[in-house]
């Protein structure tokens, strides 16, 4: 017989409620609606549940009874909780927000969302990695998805982009091959979330059109510090169409307000172990704390004459239009200010489709875009289980809608009344509107039906080189290192050589650096190029992350390692200076809980040193007391904290008392301008100013193989 035995102590932690527990005969604990003043639990059919801990049995130790409908319904539903993960972009994280229009764009587009200055339109964004499965780690070296759904008054507009403005392939028919090659190899099902394997580089080495994208994918863009610090691109050329039915070509760019930032590769590898949810947590924390990430939408607008005069085909998704040649114009901003209430209902079930465009936005003939317009609708049927996925709230338009589509799995909204077709004589139901309805831009089309890649798509190296020469020396080094790392995992020598043969057509120094690190005995011949002469394009500084730094620490995080006896005044000065910069501080202590400062006050710590390595922070400060530093220096985690921060080219602030730790971490003899002594409040101000530089990449050549 159940009897009341335990009443747990009330907790003062927010959200923890008084626990009135009833112990069952077998020792299991019951919380009842009666003791908890809670709603009565029901089955999915609404039937009230008396016991959710014990199946129905024939005798207490006997077999289960088939008439236990509650058990069967519960297990049935659990068994079907998973839906197929996305075939690409399986791991993602989303947030709600709004798009705000700066000024009317009526001259270019009749799209309703661009008509009125200051108008806000609800939006949902899902960021993702591409290759990894749903449970893979956030810091994979990979392209990031940047998919935006804007719920306009004339239907949903989905701009399904990436954080890179070009793509691997020129024709959608190659997409299954690209994805098969990039994901785990089919016989062994590894490597997970990595392109560092034979199949990927085999495909790439046989697909010269991928070379421009490879430069991007091997650059720091592929290891962003945060979703908040990356650009987004619509990639393709689209069309704006105005009320006079005039068309302007348009490319879409999202520019993060807080600037661009990436991590070091060695850091990425360690973040994946320390916090595989690093990007998710970052977005969650910043939105929950009211620091709403923001991007500006900028557009590159051009006409047919520009397209005809441009060196490359604007329909080719492996090419971009340099911002120096065609400066993008700001047209609005996207602010993310609310996390979903439920991850599955919203982020997992959201269905993006490139073909979702409102009147005023239209497609170009980019063959990749045209193919995508088929694939996205098709994939939702498989993933979401039927044709009614627009009935799921996250996918439903927020404007009035009316049509005669009906029935099918999970139909939530069917036409009401007799009429489910048109034309009809009953005067009921929606009617088409030649005035308000979407009319496709009447682009001219002619020519034989043919499978043929246009010659205007054939130059695969000029823009790849342009990207490479637009990078700073540190960024170029990272590209060479990334290629070396990836190819070092390729077991077949001829594939490695074939990649180097392409690099020779991009940059000889890059090719020879990689070849030397791969230990190639002889240099391969340059790959045959479809276009004989590579154009020597001007560098485009807009393509570099380092040249476009924010110069501010805003939105970043300082990790402060403390011990008992930490200088209370210094800690306070540092914390308030960083907070004033609109940046965050996290305290790391040798023990869970915190430390007692020099003035006897309690300093709460967010991390214990074992769980708070420096890779989780943009910069660090090391503030042990003289009494506690020797003990701290015996901790491998504390030594790694300092050594990693140094080798990842971070700024390090420290008190004099930290020197024994710096010594044991192996950096005391290599101190540079990025390692800053914190004696007084004046030093604090200078330190925080330096933090805006984010990284001291000039330190990197001196830091070899992870050793300071
Ligand atoms: Fe794609 C998902 C971006 C080429 C087929 N793609 C997907 C997502 C993003 C992109 C961000 C995740 C959406 C989400 O968060 O739910 N894809 C791109 C970009 C491309 C691109 C920027 C080139 C410019 N994709 C591409 C091609 C095809 C697809 C050429 C097929 C012909 N993509 C898909 C898909 C996915 C998808 C299979 C998987 C899940 C989904 O659509 O909803 O249909």
Q: Of all protein residues, whose CA lies closest to atom 11 belonging to ligand 1?
A: 145
- Tell me how far the alpha carbon of residue 183 lies from the centroid of ligand 1, in angstroms: 14
**ipTM, two decimals:** 0.99
For ligand 1, whether the C-beta of 376 sits within 6 Å is: yes
What would the mean pLDDT of 126-147 be, rounded to a whole number? 98
* 453 appears as a binding residue in the annotation: no
From the CA of 162, give the closest atom in ligand 1. 22
Is the CB of 367 within 6 Å of ligand 1? no
Residue nearest to atom 37 of ligand 1 (CA): 88
What sections of 419-567 are H helices per DSSP? 462-469, 473-488, 493-503, 508-518
Instruction: Give the model's pLDDT for residue 530.
Output: 86
Cβ of 160 less than 6 Å from ligand 1: yes
Task: Tell me how far the alpha carbon of residue 176 lies from the centroid of ligand 1, in angstroms.
Answer: 11
pLDDT tens figures, 296-328: 999 999 999 999 999 999 999 999 999 999 999
Ligand 1 pocket test: pick from 88, 144, 147, 374 the residue with the most ligand atoms within 8 Å of its Cβ: 88
What CA–CA distance (Å, rounded) separates 578 from 690?
12
Decide if pLDDT at 574 tops 70: yes
Any idea what DSSP says for residue 262?
B
Q: Calculate the alpha carbon distances from 302 to 101, 238, 247, 310, 325 in Å.
A: 20, 10, 10, 10, 11
Q: Ligand 1 pocket check: which of 372, 378, 385, 395 to mutate, most ligand atoms within 8 Å of Cβ?
A: 372
Question: Over 101-133, what HEC string results?
Answer: ECCCCCCCCCCHHHCCCCCEEEEEEEEEECCCC
Q: What does the mean pLDDT of the chain come to?
A: 95
Q: Which residue has the tokens 């980019």?
A: 366
| Cβ 162 under 6 angstroms from ligand 1 | yes
Residue 242 has pLDDT above 50, yes or no: yes
Closest residue by Cα to atom 31, ligand 1, is: 372
DSSP bridge pairs for 247: 241
**Got the DSSP string for 131-165?**
SS-TTS-TT-SS-EEEEEEEEETTEEEEEEEESSS
Query: Rg for the chain (alpha carbons), in Å?
Result: 29
From the number of C-beta atoms within 10 Å of its C-beta (0-12, 13-18, 19+), residue 526 rates as middle
Rounded mean pLDDT, 255-271? 98
- Which residues on adjacent β-strands are paired with residue 21? 6
Pocket test for ligand 1, best of 375, 382, 383, 392 (most atoms within 8 A of CB): 375
Beta carbon of 111 within 6 Å of any ligand 1 atom: no
pLDDT tens for 385-402 read 999 999 999 999 999 999
The residues, ordered by sequence, that sit 6+ positions from 230 with a Cβ below 8 Å of its Cβ are 144, 146, 163, 221, 224, 256, 260
162 among known catalytic residues: yes
Residue 422's pLDDT band (boundaries 50, 70, 90)?
A: very high
Ligand 1 centre distance from Cα of residue 376 (Å): 7
Count CB-CB contacts under 10 A for residue 432.
Answer: 9
Which protein residue's CA is at the shortest distance from atom 19 of ligand 1? 161
The active-site residue out of 96, 156, 162, 236 is 162
Is any ligand 1 atom within 6 A of the Cβ of residue 379? yes
Domains, the chain, in order of start with CATH, read 92-391 (2.40.180.10), 464-546 (1.20.1370.20), 552-702 (3.40.50.880)
Residue pLDDT, tens place only, 212-241: 999 999 999 999 999 999 999 999 999 999
* Pocket lining: 168 vs ligand 1, CB cutoff 6 Å: no
- Place 17 in a pLDDT band, splitting at 50, 70 and 90: low
Q: CB of 639 closer than 6 A to ligand 1?
A: no
Q: How confident is the model at residue 10 (pLDDT cuts 50, 70, 90)?
A: very low
- 272 is an active site residue: no
User: Around Cβ 427, how many Cβ atoms within 10 Å?
Assistant: 6
376: annotated binding-site residue? yes
Closest ligand 1 atom to Cα of 88: 39
Residue 267: in which H helix or E strand, if any? Answer: helix 265-274
Q: Is 167 in the pocket of ligand 1 (CB under 6 A)?
A: yes
Q: What is the rounded average pLDDT of the residues 632-640?
A: 98
Atom of ligand 1 nearest to the CA of 94: 15
- Tell me the two tokens of residue 465: 């080189």
User: Ligand 1: which of 90, 134, 175, 385 to mutate, most ligand atoms within 8 Å of CB?
Assistant: 175
> What pLDDT, on the 0 to 100 scale, is given for residue 1?
38
- The token duo for 17 is 């409620």
Closest-lying ligand 1 atom to the alpha carbon of residue 161: 22
Cα 411 to Cα 506: distance, rounded to the nearest angstrom: 54
Distance CA 556, CA 582 (A): 8
Would you place residue 14 in the very low, low, confident or very high pLDDT band (cuts 50, 70, 90)? low
Q: Hey, whose CA ends up nearest to atom 26 of ligand 1?
A: 372
Is the Cβ atom of 126 under 6 angstroms away from ligand 1? yes
Binding site membership of 93 for ligand 1 (Cβ less than 6 Å): no
Mean pLDDT of 124-128: 99
Q: What is the four-CA torsion angle of 261, 265, 266, 271, rounded to 10 degrees?
A: 60
């Amino acid at each position: 017989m159940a009897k009341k035995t335990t009443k747990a102590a009330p907790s003062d932690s927010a959200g923890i409620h008084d626990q009135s527990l009833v112990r069952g005969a077998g020792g299991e604990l019951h919380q009842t609606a009666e003791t908890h003043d809670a709603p009565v639990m029901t089955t999915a059919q609404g039937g009230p549940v008396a016991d959710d801990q014990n199946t129905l049995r024939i005798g207490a130790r006997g077999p289960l009874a088939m008439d236990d409908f509650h058990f069967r319904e519960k297990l049935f539903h659990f068994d079907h909780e998973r839906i197929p993960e996305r075939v690409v972009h399986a791991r993602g994280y989303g947030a709600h927000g709004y798009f705000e229009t700066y000024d009317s764009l009526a001259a270019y587009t009749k799209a309703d969302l661009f008509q009125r200055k200051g108008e806000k339109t609800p939006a949902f964004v899902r960021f993702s990695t591409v290759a990894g499965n749903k449970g893979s780690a956030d810091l994979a070296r990979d392209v990031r998805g940047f998919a935006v759904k804007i719920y306009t008054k004339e239907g949903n507009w989905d701009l399904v982009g990436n954080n890179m403005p070009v793509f691997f392939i020129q024709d959608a028919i190659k997409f299954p091959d690209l994805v098969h090659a990039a994901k785990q190899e089919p016989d062994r099902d590894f490597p997970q979330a990595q392109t560092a394997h034979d199949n990927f580089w085999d495909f790439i080495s046989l697909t010269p059109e991928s070379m421009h994208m490879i430069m991007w994918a091997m650059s720091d863009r592929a290891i962003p510090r945060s979703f908040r610090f990356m650009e987004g691109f619509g990639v393709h050329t689209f069309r704006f169409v105005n009320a006079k039915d005039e068309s302007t070509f348009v490319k879409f760019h999202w520019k993060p307000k807080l600037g661009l930032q990436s991590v070091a590769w060695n850091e990425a590898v360690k973040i994946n172990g320390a916090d595989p949810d690093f990007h998710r947590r970052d977005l969650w924390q910043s939105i929950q704390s009211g620091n709403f990430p923001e991007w500006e939408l900028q557009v590159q607008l051009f006409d047919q004459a520009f397209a005809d005069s441009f060196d490359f085909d604007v329909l080719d998704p492996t090419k971009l239009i340099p911002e120096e040649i065609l400066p993008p114009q700001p047209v609005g901003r996207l602010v993310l200010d609310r996390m979903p209430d439920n991850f599955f209902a919203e982020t997992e079930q959201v269905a993006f489709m490139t073909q979702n465009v409102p009147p005023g936005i239209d497609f170009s003939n980019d063959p990749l875009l045209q193919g995508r317009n088929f694939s996205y609708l098709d994939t939702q049927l498989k993933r979401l289980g039927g044709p009614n996925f627009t009935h799921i709230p996250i996918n439903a338009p927020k404007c009035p809608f009316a049509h005669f589509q009906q029935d099918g799995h999970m139909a939530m909204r069917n036409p009401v009344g007799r009429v489910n077709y048109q034309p009809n004589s009953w005067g009921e139901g929606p009617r088409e509107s030649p005035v308000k309805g979407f009319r496709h831009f009447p682009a001219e089309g002619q020519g034989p039906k043919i499978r043929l890649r246009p010659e205007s798509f054939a130059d695969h190296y000029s823009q790849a080189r342009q990207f490479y020469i637009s990078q700073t020396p540190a960024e170029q080094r990272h590209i060479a290192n990334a290629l070396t790392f990836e190819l070092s995992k390729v077991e077949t020598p001829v594939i490695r050589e074939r990649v180097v043969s392409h690099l020779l057509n991009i940059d000889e120094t890059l090719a020879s650096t990689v070849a030397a690190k791969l230990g190639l005995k002889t240099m391969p011949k340059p790959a045959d190029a479809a276009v004989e002469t590579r154009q020597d394009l001007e560098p485009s500084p807009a393509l570099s992350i380092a040249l476009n730094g924010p110069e501010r620490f805003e939105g970043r995080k300082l990790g402060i390692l403390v011990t008992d006896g930490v200088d209370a005044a210094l800690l306070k000065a540092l914390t308030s200076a960083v907070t004033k910069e609109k940046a965050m501080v996290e305290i790391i202590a040798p023990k869970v809980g915190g430390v007692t400062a020099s003035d006897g006050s309690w300093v709460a710590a967010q991390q214990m040193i074992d769980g708070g390595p420096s890779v989780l922070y943009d910069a660090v400060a090391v503030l042990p007391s003289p009494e506690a530093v020797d003990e701290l220096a015996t901790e491998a985690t504390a030594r790694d904290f300092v050594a990693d921060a140094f080798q990842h080219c971070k700024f390090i602030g420290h008190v004099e008392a930290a020197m024994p730790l710096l010594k044991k971490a192996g950096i005391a003899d290599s101190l540079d301008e990025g390692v800053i002594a914190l004696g007084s409040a004046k030093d604090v101000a200078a330190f925080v100013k330096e933090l805006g530089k984010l990284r001291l990449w000039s330190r990197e050549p001196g830091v070899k193989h992870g050793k300071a």
